[in-house]
Amino acid sequence: MSTSLIQSGSLQSGSLQSGSLQSVSLRSILRAASAAALAACMMTNPLVAHAQQADQESGKTYTLLATPETVAWGHYDATTPPVLRIKSGDTVVFHTVLTNSPSGLEKAGVKPADVEQSLRDLFDGVALKDRGPGGHILTGPVYIEGAEPGDTLEVRVRKIDLAIPYAYNAFRYGAGFQTDDFPYARVKIIPLDRTTRTAHFGPGIDIPLHPFFGSMGVAPPPAFGRYDSAPPTIIGGNMDNKELVEGSTVYYPVFVPGALFQIGDGHAGQGNGEVDITAMETSLVGTVQFILQKGVKTGPYPRAETPNYFISMGYDDDLTVATHKAVAGMIDFLVEHQHMSRDDAYMLISVSGDIDITELVDHNKGVHVMVPKSIFKQGTQG
């Protein structure tokens, strides 16, 4: 989603509970002793995350709530202090909320009781000077120990849960691909059914849910300064790529020590292009595991994979240039990871790859190339 839809101060991220950081074990519920230790830690420093050891393979698991102390509002910035430090192999359960304000939701028809308290807390608690230049409120940043420029951060999206039973879609004049055809504003509240995994768009129209985070990214090089959260770029960020659902993995180039990962802009679903400038905007809880690949270079843009596809991405204000970047990224991937010649990689994309428009509305337009894993013999899939 592009934040140009919403006026300044109307985008947010939040949590479903009070407090800032909690921790859970992958194997068991917190025992009484560790719970007491956690409570003591939280009282002394609300930004200290306590975690239990899960197992040697998957590391520790932390829960990071979105509060005024644990979000970055509208930007990715190499100077933003981390709210949590973890190690490679650790998992974080991120709480985020939809991109709208409490008053905006209520005006659109959401009952005051159905607006998350965490959302209200964010609008009350984050100073105006700490907001912008974009509007997304992103949970984080998270510092991954040992990450340095030139490394690759592997981000595994293990699970995505709905946090609330509704989403919204909206447009206004001046934003969206067809803005001249719709010179006014409209907001639509869309009920979400967890049981049937569908969104009830209107009478006789039910849309299957495929929740994903519109914005996931790392901090940019320091020279970028406070980078607007709206245009996706080399850090990822507001990619709005509907393929990055539960079970997907994204590989990010690291530009600063710790990588400084942030996440937000939950979507219950979206069409490629996101033409009116919003998806089905909703609150999500994402379980994400981090793996640091030391000395492994990725780029210049993030790449991804799902159980069925390899994915490269490209972003630019010019859609043709964005497409060139995405195709070049897939050629590089096939050469490096599938050990193909550049000629054959180029040919393979032409005969088996799909080029999709990711989004058309986030200042930088997005294109991604998808190559099916099924065409490669077992044991040669990257």
- What are the tens digits of pLDDT across the range 260-294? 999 999 999 999 999 999 999 999 999 999 999 99
Q: Are strands 205-208 and 198-202 parallel, antiparallel or unpaired?
A: antiparallel
- For residue 42, pLDDT beyond 60: no
User: Which residue type occupies 169?
Assistant: N
C-alpha to C-alpha distance for 363 and 322, rounded to whole angstroms: 12
Q: Do residues 122 and 14 lie in contact, with contact meaning Cβ atoms separated by under 8 Å? A: yes
Identify the structural domains of the chain with CATH numbers, from first to last.
3-302 (2.60.120.580), 308-375 (3.10.28.20)
Taking the CA atoms of 79, 80, 81 and 87 in sequence, report the sign of the dihedral they define: negative
- For residue 10, pLDDT beyond 50: no
pLDDT digits (tens, 9 = 90+) for 166-208: 999 999 999 999 999 999 999 999 999 999 999 999 999 999 9
Q: Do residues 172 and 5 lie in contact, with contact meaning Cβ atoms separated by under 8 Å? A: yes
Count of beta carbons in the 10 Å neighbourhood of residue 329: 23
pLDDT digits (tens, 9 = 90+) for 102-123: 999 999 999 999 999 999 999 9
C-alpha to C-alpha distance for 115 and 163, rounded to whole angstroms: 11
C-alpha to C-alpha distance for 68 and 82, rounded to whole angstroms: 13
- For residue 330, pLDDT beyond 90: yes
